[in-house]
Amino acid sequence: MQVTPASIMQQWFDGLWNAGDESTLDRFLAADGVVHGLATPDGEPIRGPQGFAPFYRAFRGAFPDVHIEVVHSVTEGDWTVAHCRVTGTHAGDGLGLPATGKPVTFYGFALGRMAGGQIVEAYNCFDFLSMYQQLGVSMDLPR
């Protein structure tokens, strides 16, 4: 199989998220890789596999059956963007919210730059608001 930016992105989703293989972090996220757009306690980008592991464990703890389907992908040079459909059942407390048992479906995009067969830079934009709404979380916005 030819290694392409799109194949790296697909293997990231298949291995880490769909198969639950945490060793995927070390295989496909560079040690100094930077991941933007995912919630962190300090609001800073995630750095490297060790920095990504807490986010992964919390999300997977909340949605142990999470599945991420790459609906479309587009590659330009060493960049790939993946349009993703995320499904799962909220069966754990990993996000600080008691398990609801509710299913969720939401969409998003992941843009990644690849080098040496790994993700070195990534930007995420997923509809987490829709996810929380499906779980029954009320978001009161200022008026």
pLDDT by residue (tens digit) across 22-77?
999 999 999 999 999 998 888 899 999 999 999 999 999 999 999 999 999 999 99
Given a contact cutoff of 8 angstroms between Cβ atoms, the answer to whether 66 and 17 are in contact is yes
Question: pLDDT tens-digit profile of 92-132?
Answer: 998 889 999 999 999 999 999 999 999 999 999 999 999 99
Topology of the domain covering 5-134: Nuclear Transport Factor 2; Chain: A, (3.10.450)
Residue 9 host element (H or E) = helix 5-12
Residues with Cβ within 8 Å of 137's Cβ and at least 6 positions away in sequence, in order, are: 97
pLDDT at 139: 77
Strand, coil or helix: 24: helix
Q: Side chain identity at 53, as an amino acid letter?
A: A
